Amino acid sequence: MVEKKAGGRCPWTMGREKRRTPSAEEGQGQGEGAHGTVVRKIHVPLSKEDALSLRVGEMVLLSGQMVTGRDRVHRLLVRERPGKEEIPFVLEGGVLYHCGPLIVKEGDAYRLIAAGPTTSMRVEMYEAEVIRQYGIRGIVGKGGMGEKTRAALQEAGAVYFNAISGAAVYLADRIRKVVDGWRVEEFGAPEAMWLLEVEDFPAVVTMDAHGNSLHRTIEDLSRENLRKLIRE
Amino acid sequence: MLKLRDGIVELYRKVATSIPTDVEEALKRAQAEEAEPLARESLDIILKNISLARTTSRPLCQDTGFPVFFVKVPRGLSHQLIKDVIRDATRLATQKVPLRPNAVNSVTEKNTGDNVGELFPLIYTEEIPEQTLTVDLMLKGGGSENIGQLYKLPAVLESGEGEGVPAERDFEGVRKCVLDAVFKAQGRGCPPYTIGIAIGGAKDQVTALSKRQLMRRLNDVHPDAALSAFETGILREVNALGIGSLGFGGRATALGVKIAAAERHPASYFVDVSFACWANRRGRLVW
């Protein structure tokens, strides 16, 4: 459990470099960020064991497949509850990326131009149910999510990754392929569900499967700081 | 007018694929001064993204924003004509840059597909005596637009929990509103933010005015000494909240704060706070 502490260095980064020594049974590699931060390589879709091994504050590089979904996809999944046979992609154990890409069709293929994360909080009212109903193991987005999702992640053994907000070109270059799209005509390109193949896609674990949330920690910390600033 | 149209298409390209030098410099400084490892890593990737977008001429964010134009029109030139040219240029830029189609019909939920629709793009025009046409464009990201706040003073602010904090009709009250807005925003609108503030007596007056402040250069100095001091002081306080780049903690919550004060009605005291994400995309075409 991450401790709350006002002012100074944030508690969740303290000693992290030491804690992340490589472990043979993890089966996932490690690398280094630009400033010596330890970065863990993770394959997606990820197993429950992988999800449980991740901790808030860890930087990861995701490789494998993930699907996109934003406002309309979430509304669809919760309101109309399409069955597994209706959705062309496997969501069970999958990673759902909150992203409305800038994508163009060239002949029969799609070319991705920019694909950063969108604000996750907008789908807070749907996400817990999506995680439960469709067995989602990982969410990628930005800005974090609320208590309902935090509880659902803990219950399901799933994690939330905060991608680098706005770094849409850098991230698009880590998406190797747009495999296919679903509801592209009906929802429009930004709102459709896309299956993407990613390689070394950087993100930070900000909500883990153990109930920890970096967003909550930062909110608590900034609330303390706010109180000091406006009550003095 | 065809040349003007093509000029605006190029303006779209420039604004979507690069960020102003002052913003990039401020991000570099923020990164150099940041002690939090994750915030520093995030700023590192942000800076790489900026240079990658520029060199490959791709929009630096997939959200190419809500286009907002501030146009200074010479006397005698039709404002309607300018608006028509801008709408044509927008359709063309959507294909050529390309821009993400962001105009959604609020009744049918259909995306118009070309970034043109009812009051979309948003175009403000004003007449000037000079003979030069000046077209300022802001591509306003949706995430940062959503975290803006409007306050009506006096008010009791709920932030910080417990009993509320009174915000009176003075600079101290304005200061509390701004800190409250940033606290509520947390990392959801892609910090480090540029923050625009307006004080005034009509709702539409302050919301437009606070957004317009985001067009100012980060290193400009407000001509009013009191407001200039307010900008510097509140920036320091915002950066003491500990939200940091992308909400990962640290110092870099905002790059700059810009404020404007309009005359108000004796009964009304509105404070509006607008946010730009780190990718504060703005540019100018002089014709």
Q: What is the ipTM score, two decimals? A: 0.93
A79 contacts A125 by C-beta, under 8 angstroms: no
d(CA A102, CA B278): 19
Tokens of A132: 């439960």
Confidence of residue A4 (pLDDT cuts 50, 70, 90): very low
How would you class A198 by CB atoms within 10 Å of its CB: exposed for 0-12, middle for 13-18, buried for 19 or more? buried
Cis peptide, bond prior to residue B67, ω within 30 of zero: no
Q: Considering chain B, what percentage of its residues have pLDDT values greater than 70? A: 99
- Mean pLDDT, range B84-107, rounded to an integer: 96
For residue B266, pLDDT beyond 50: yes
d(CA A133, CA A67): 16
Worst-scoring range by mean pLDDT, A8-22, A117-131, B21-35?
Answer: A8-22
Q: Is A27 left (phi over 0), alpha (psi -120 to 50) or beta?
A: left
- Residue A3 domain-assigned (yes or no): no
For residue A26, pLDDT beyond 60: no
* Nearest Cβ partner for B241 among A167, A168, A226: A226
- Distance (Å) from the alpha carbon of A60 to chain B's nearest alpha carbon: 11
CB contact under 8 A, B35 and A9: yes
Looking at residue A9, what is its pLDDT? 36
Residue A79 contacts B, CB cutoff 8 Å: no
* Nearest Cβ partner for A219 among B52, B186, B279: B186
* Nearest Cβ partner for A230 among B61, B176, B186: B176
Is-catalytic flag, A43?
A: no
Q: Is A64 left (phi over 0), alpha (psi -120 to 50) or beta?
A: left
CB contact under 8 A, B249 and A218: yes
- Residue A30 domain-assigned (yes or no): no
Cis peptide, bond prior to residue B121, ω within 30 of zero: yes
Mutate to test the interface with A, among B23, B33, B38 (most CBs of A within 10 A): B38
Mutate to test the interface with A, among B100, B115, B161 (most CBs of A within 10 A): B100
pLDDT digits (tens, 9 = 90+) for B269-282: 999 999 999 999 99
Residue A69 contacts B, CB cutoff 8 Å: no
Looking at residue A2, what is its pLDDT? 33
Confidence of residue A133 (pLDDT cuts 50, 70, 90): very high
Place of tokens 């879709």: A45
- Distance (Å) from the alpha carbon of A114 to chain B's nearest alpha carbon: 5
Task: Using alpha carbons, select from B6, B16, B2, B5 the residue that is nearest to residue B283.
Answer: B16
- Residue A168 domain-assigned (yes or no): yes
Confidence of residue A16 (pLDDT cuts 50, 70, 90): very low
Chain A partners within 8 Å of B56 (Cβ): 169
Tokens of A15: 């000693």
Chain A: residue nearest B234 by CA?
A229
- A75: CATH: 3.20.130.10
- Residue A39 domain-assigned (yes or no): no
Stronger pLDDT, A111 or A11, i.e. the higher one: A111
For residue A1, pLDDT beyond 60: no
* Nearest Cβ partner for B41 among A35, A171, A229: A35
Q: Give Cα A176 to chain centroid, integer Å.
A: 18
Chain A partners within 8 Å of B240 (Cβ): 225, 229
Tokens of A143: 């800005």
Residue A184 contacts B, CB cutoff 8 Å: no
d(CA B249, CA B74): 47
- Residue A10 domain-assigned (yes or no): no
Measured CA distances, A30 to A26, A40, A66, A191 (Å): 10, 4, 21, 34
- Mean pLDDT, range B195-220, rounded to an integer: 97
Confidence of residue B160 (pLDDT cuts 50, 70, 90): low
- Mean pLDDT, range B103-109, rounded to an integer: 93
A11 contacts A217 by C-beta, under 8 angstroms: yes
- Residue A26 domain-assigned (yes or no): no
- Residue A68 domain-assigned (yes or no): yes
CB contact under 8 A, B59 and A13: no
Place of tokens 């001064």: B33
d(CA B282, CA B258): 15
* Nearest Cβ partner for B242 among A101, A165, A222: A222
Helices (H), chain B: 2-17, 21-33, 37-56, 79-96, 142-146, 171-185, 203-213, 225-238
- Distance (Å) from the alpha carbon of A62 to chain B's nearest alpha carbon: 15
Count how many domains chain A has: 1
Measured CA distances, A225 to A87, A231, B35, B39, B240 (Å): 46, 10, 18, 18, 7
Residue A223 contacts B, CB cutoff 8 Å: yes
Q: Say whether B143 sits in a helix, a strand or coil.
A: helix
d(CA A102, CA A183): 16
Looking at residue A232, what is its pLDDT? 56
- Residue A23 domain-assigned (yes or no): no
Looking at residue B20, what is its pLDDT? 97
- Mean pLDDT, range B166-194, rounded to an integer: 97
Q: Between A and B, how many CB-CB pairs are < 8 A?
A: 196
Count the neighbouring beta carbons within 10 Å of the beta carbon of residue B96: 14
Q: Say whether B7 sits in a helix, a strand or coil.
A: helix
In which domain, by residue range, is A159 found?
Answer: 44-231
